Amino acid sequence: MHSAVFLIEFGAIILGLGLLGRLAGRFSFSPIPLYLLAGLAFGKGGLLPLGASEEFVAIGAEIGVILLLLMLGLEYTASDLVSNLKTQYPAGLVDFALNAVPGAVAALLLGWGPVAAVVLAGVTWISSSGVIAKVLGDLGRLGNRETPVILSILVLEDLAMAVYLPIITALLAGVGLAAGSATLAVALGVAGAVLFVAVRYGRLISRFVSSDDPEKLLLVVLGLTLLVAGVAQQLQVSAAVGAFLVGIALSGEVAEGAHALLSPLRDLFAAVFFVFFGLHTDPASIPPVILPAFALAVVTALTKVATGYWAARRAGIGVKGRWRAGGTLVARGEFSIVIAGLAVTAGVQPQLGPFATAYVLILVVMGPLTARFTEPVAAALTRLRTPKPAAGPAASAHVRPRPSDGAEDAGGTDVMEDSGRR
């Protein structure tokens, strides 16, 4: 009986996701907000809470995040990653200053104390790699010139979590300096070792994984990814970072074959991830904190746009690409929930959990919208502010023609050639 209920529930979830995806596709819109709202409707306190399939959905959600980051890693080589990190680390510092500080200030203004301030700083700092990876794929921007800039910021954030999470865990637990330092040293060592292996021995890994049989290639790549992600998480390093590094370690025909085989699985489990997020949000806990959460969401959405614009400008990206980079970085998600969950478990501040949930829900819905519309809205506002030349032949003789978008974006085209990256 239990298995029958599970099949009915999970089958209804998958069918509903398919229908929502078709609806979003008809209007050329990302389905992520619809997936989240569906989870909210059928989660705790929703219209029809699900029970039998909850554990399986939770596992599927973890796999969804891992596959999203693996597929994003397959888009780039190890040399691309190292080069981008060397050139973009100042953007990581700007990202921290612009987006962590508002969260810390908000917690202090709400009277939650310094520990909650450190926690909320992490919630507002880290963009959602899972949501952004899905949005980049949905909008067909994986080959855009600004995408490596976005990717570099996301990777810097994910790697920073290898430092931040042990610190916040020790802070919440109240452990001594020695124990906290040991945990941090282990996390940094593991992250560094995995990155070194990916960069130095990527070709050997690709040769080991390579197979002419699609079935064997799928099993080996998926198994290796889950294994590395699990080991990384066990050692206090993000599973997403581990999956991403596996992706960049694979190159050539192996990367292309794995991408083709894993794309359907990624889409399935990524959709499950977004539903799972909504399932664990109680609608009744949101109204009391919605106004301050919304205010903070607006502020940090603007700071993320500023971060992406600054980083893309520094990389020589055209104006359109700068706005796209900023709008794409707005979404928060999985890491923000993990950080808030640690604080809630430790009993730091009762309101912190609902506040973080409302904040992330706002930005995870807003993120796909800003990714799609920030650039055209900015272009429209620019046109409105640009004064029109005076009419008449005398005036036109003294007015220089305004450069076209192509001349304005002389730093390069907004879309890369698709040749030779792998």
User: How many angstroms separate the first and last alpha carbons of the chain?
Assistant: 50
Q: Please check the confidence at residue 204 and state whether its pLDDT lies above 70.
A: yes
Residue 414 clears pLDDT 70, i.e. is over it? no
Lowest mean pLDDT among 111-120, 225-234, 342-351, 407-416: 407-416
Residues 6+ apart with CB under 8 A from 89: 156
The amino acid that residue 347 corresponds to is G
Q: Which two tokens stand for residue 27?
A: 């209007």
- The conformation of residue 285, written as its DSSP 8-state character, comes to G
pLDDT band at 127 (very low <50, low <70, confident <90, very high): very high
Q: Which distant-in-sequence residues (6+ apart) come within 8 Å of 225 by Cβ? A: 66, 67, 70, 242, 243, 246, 247
DSSP SS3 for 201:
coil
Task: For residue 314, give both structure tokens.
Answer: 């520094």
Between these two residues, 391 and 66, which has the higher pLDDT value?
Answer: 66
pLDDT of residue 292: 94
Measure the CA–CA gap between 59 and 44, rounded to whole angstroms.
18
Model confidence pLDDT, tens digit, residues 16-70: 888 988 887 787 666 777 887 787 777 665 566 666 566 777 788 788 878 887 8
Q: Per-residue b/e over 219-241, b at no fewer than 16 CB within 10 Å?
A: ebbbebbbebbeebbebbbbbbb
Contacts with 290 (C-beta within 8 Å, 6 or more apart), sequence order: 358
Q: What was the pLDDT predicted at 272?
A: 83
- Which residues lie across from 16 on neighbouring strands? none
**22-26, 232-236, 328-332 — which is least confidently predicted?**
232-236
The 10s digit of each residue's pLDDT in 346-387 is: 777 878 888 988 898 889 888 888 998 998 998 888 888 777
Q: What is the mean pLDDT of residues 282-299?
A: 88
CB 229 within 8 A of CB 242: yes
Residue 215 has a CB neighbour count (10 Å cut-off) of: 9
User: Dihedral, CA atoms, 55, 60, 63, 65, nearest 10 degrees?
Assistant: -100
pTM, entire model: 0.70
What is the C-alpha to C-alpha distance for residues 158 and 244, in angstroms, rounded to an integer? 10
- Cα dist. 357→80, 95, 126, 345 in Å? 35, 22, 14, 14
Centre a 10 Å sphere on the Cβ of residue 306 and count the other Cβ atoms it contains: 16
Structure-token pair, residue 113? 């104390």
> What span, in angstroms and rounded, lies between the C-alpha atoms of 72 and 84?
15
Q: What is the mean pLDDT of residues 328-355?
A: 81
